[in-house]
Chain A
Amino acid sequence: MNYALLVLASPASGLSNLSALRFAEAALARGHKIHRVFFLDQGTSSGLATSVYPQGEADPVALWAELGERHNLDLVLCISSALKRGLLDASEAARYERQAQTLHPAFSLGGLGLLVEATAEVDRLLTFGGPS
């Protein structure tokens, strides 16, 4: 089956973000396809290369990046959610004259159109929700 994931949950709080990651791992292990993982709202912090998680805690940024690189996943952060959280790739850092690129290279920035395209494309779209 072809899946897309919509991740609204922050990687820094709660379990929902890690649940999305575990779902992706399990689906890929069973031979399913992940068309795209779209990170929106607080979920965009999943791509923040400068975040540091304490020893003994899962590091969702590293785990997503590793999974993405291993399976060549399309990990996309909503650009407007990302920019206001300080997540910039090289071209956005240059455009807004900020000091550094903060987006992990396993991720990319993109518009909501990529979420829309994914919903049209896939068999199942799963939302991993934000705060209730």
Chain B
Amino acid sequence: MTQTKKVLLLTRHAPYGGSLARAAVDAALAAAAFEQAPSLLFMGDAVLQLVSDQDASAVGTRSHGRVLESLPLYDIDQVFVDQTALLEYGLTSHDLAIDVILLDDPAMRQMLADHDHILSF
């Protein structure tokens, strides 16, 4: 499949309270598998998905951080993060499981404008 559209996957939910966080990452991996490398933007509560050393065994699921660590294997190298949300949770990029690019509000607005499709999870 040739890439015809710039696709942004927007994720806004924390990792374990519901299944939308996982659905967003699964969609990203599927897009990459079909050579439609999407941009991935973590906004609001979704920054909690990125925290390193997650142990999800007590809630009967796989570590979401582990799933995110597989993104580079699918050539999803550019992961964008809502800088303000990270700050609100008292986190820095050193607390995160993968390398990310921090965006301020104007940069996020620009990102939303720059894509053909936004899949909002």
Q: Which of B3, B26, B30, B119 is close to A120, meaning CB atoms less than 8 Å apart? A: B3
Which residues of A102-120 are within 8 A (CB) of B?
Answer: 111-113, 115-117, 119-120
Give me the interface of B with A, judged by CB distance under 8 Å.
Answer: 1-5, 7, 18-20, 23, 26-27, 30-31, 33-34, 36, 117-121
How near does chain B come to A40, taking the closest CB pair, in angstroms? 6
Contact: A112 with B30, CB < 8 Å? yes
Which stretch in A24-32, A91-99, A124-132 binds the other chain? A124-132
Chain A: residues with CB nearer than 8 A to chain B? 6, 8, 40-42, 80-81, 111-113, 115-117, 119-120, 122, 124-125, 127, 129-131
In terms of DSSP, what is the predominant structure of the interface of chain A? Answer: mixed
Determine if A131 and B18 form an interchain contact, defined as CB atoms under 8 angstroms apart.
yes
A120 near B120 with CB under 8 A, answer: no
Would you give 11 A-B contacts (Cβ < 8 Å), ordered by A? Answer: A8-B20, A40-B27, A81-B23, A112-B31, A113-B34, A115-B27, A116-B31, A125-B117, A125-B119, A127-B121, A130-B18
B117 touches A119 (CB 8 A): yes
Enumerate chain A residues within 8 angstroms of B27, measured Cβ to Cβ.
40, 112, 115-116
User: A55–B109 Cα gap in the complex (Å)?
Assistant: 44
Q: A111 to chain B: which residues have CB within 8 Å?
A: 30
CB pair B7 A119 closer than 8 Å = yes
Set B1, B19, B20, B120: member contacting A117, Cβ < 8 A? B1
**Chain A residue with the shortest CB-CB distance to B10:** A127
Q: Would you call A130 and B20 a contact (CB within 8 A)?
A: yes
For B117, the chain A residues whose CB sits under 8 A away are 119, 122, 124-125
Check B119–A6 contact: CB distance below 8 A.
yes
Inter-chain contact A127/B119, CB cutoff 8 Å: yes
